[in-house]
Amino acid sequence: MYKIRGFMYLIQILLALFALFALLKTKQKFSLGDIGRRDLLVWVLLWVAVIVVAIAPNSAAVFAKMTGVGRGADLVVYLALALLFYLFFRMTVRIEKMKREITVLTREISLKEKNSESK
Amino acid sequence: MTIWIVIPAYNEEKQIGRVIAGLFEHGWHNVVVVDDNSSDNTIVVARKSGALVVHHVLNRGQGAALRTGDELALAMGADVIVHFDGDEQFDPGDVKGAVDYLQEKGLGAVLGSKMLDNRSQIPWLKKLLIIPISRVINLMLTAAWLSDAHNGFRVLTRATAEKIIITQDGMAHNSEIIGKIKKNGIKFAEFPVKVVYNEYGQGVGGGVKILRDWILSVFIR
């Protein structure tokens, strides 16, 4: 395993860099108005947490002990899984809602066409 | 009194002409066919047969097509709307009885049932297993104990059609309609209709999809 200057593993640096990149992207998306203030806050907190855990893995261990999970890495995996499930669920609901909106649109077009035909 | 028949149709070019002709023969001339973006000639056949045809530019499912038909029928001034299938499974001779029943009893909705007489040739697996299971599921979803939980034959008054706005695009619209009838306290009753089986209908997969759609709808505002 590659330890850089004897205090960090390569994976830690890559993770931190990726999280930094994601933070930058999140900021860009917020500036463009693609995401709201609440999403900005959630994503910034998430990526900052990733940076903290990547640079100081023991910080996760502290929380793990507090919550009774045991190992820090386990806690991270559990939380990541829960988050993924939640995001997947939210996405499914959003897609379903979008499908309904497409239906409303389709209906409007159909009825408008019919209306202009009969005029 | 103006009665409109609403037929959702998806790839029914072989049957739709006969279905419309059958209705015309029985004196029902106000027929709306909602072509749900069929890839075949449904739209041409339906127009030639004399129906008022409205076309979905995208395929949105039977529930969506029914609602489009309801809205058009309401705009045409319908006092009563009859939901009828485009695949020749129903008998146009049943429409009159059902409409009369609605009016005599002062109901808001009449739901067709193939279980109330023995004119329908129901496959045994469907009769002994699928229908009883869907009755129980329907009871859990809609709080209505029906003899036939999945039947596309319905008669609705104008007031009912205005109140019950179908949001389920797929096949879950059936439970949705029954649920909303119950929720709105609309008086309803079942009425015997004949069903001819052309194909096997929805399998277990279809049932699972209905449940999934129903559960998801709880989370959509």
8 Å CB contact of B75 and A92: no
8 Å CB contact of B71 and A114: no
What pLDDT, on the 0 to 100 scale, is given for residue A11?
86
Q: Distance between alpha carbon A103 and the CA centroid of its chain, in Å?
A: 29
CA–CA min distance A92, chain B (Å): 8
Q: Which residue has the higher pLDDT, B94 or A60?
A: B94
In this structure, are residues B165 and B156 in contact, taking their beta carbons and an 8 Å threshold? no
Suggest the residue from B33, B57, B70 to mutate for an interface test with chain A (most A CBs closer than 10 A).
B57
Asked if the model's pLDDT at residue B84 lies above 90, the reply is: yes
Any CB–CB contact under 8 A between B176 and chain A? no
Any idea where the domains of chain B sit in the sequence?
Answer: 3-217
Nearest CA in chain B to A92: B216
- Average model confidence (pLDDT) for chain B? 91
The 10 Å Cβ neighbour count of residue B161 is 26
CA–CA min distance B40, chain A (Å): 18
8 Å CB contact of B58 and A106: yes
Max Cα separation, chain B? 45
Give the CATH architecture of domain B3-217: Alpha-Beta Complex (3.90)
Residue-wise pLDDT for A80-115, tens only, equals 999 999 999 999 999 999 999 999 999 999 999 888
User: What secondary structure, in 3-state letters, does chain B show?
Assistant: CCEEEEEEECCCCCCHHHHHHHHHHCCCCCEEEEECCCCCCHHHHHHHCCCEEEECCCCCCHHHHHHHHHHHHHHCCCCEEEECCCCCCECCCHHHHHHHHHHHCCCCEEEEECCCCCCCCCCHHHHHHHHHHHHHHHHHHHCCCCCCCCCCCEEEEHHHHHHCCCCCCCCCHHHHHHHHHHHCCCCEEEEECCECCCCCCCCHHHHHHHHHHHHHHCCCC
Label residue A2 by pLDDT band (50, 70, 90).
low
In this structure, are residues B213 and B168 in contact, taking their beta carbons and an 8 Å threshold? yes
Any CB–CB contact under 8 A between B60 and chain A? yes
Label residue A3 by pLDDT band (50, 70, 90).
low
8 Å CB contact of B60 and A110: no
Measured at the CA of A78, the angle between CA A73 and CA A81, to 5 degrees, comes to: 125
Locate tokens 């297993």: which residue?
A: B129
Nearest CA in chain A to B60: A103
Nearest CA in chain B to A114: B54
Any idea where the domains of chain A sit in the sequence?
Answer: 1-56
Strand B31-35 and strand B109-113: pairing? unpaired
- Average model confidence (pLDDT) for chain A? 87
Asked if the model's pLDDT at residue A118 lies above 80, the reply is: no
Suggest the residue from B60, B165, B211 to mutate for an interface test with chain A (most A CBs closer than 10 A).
B60
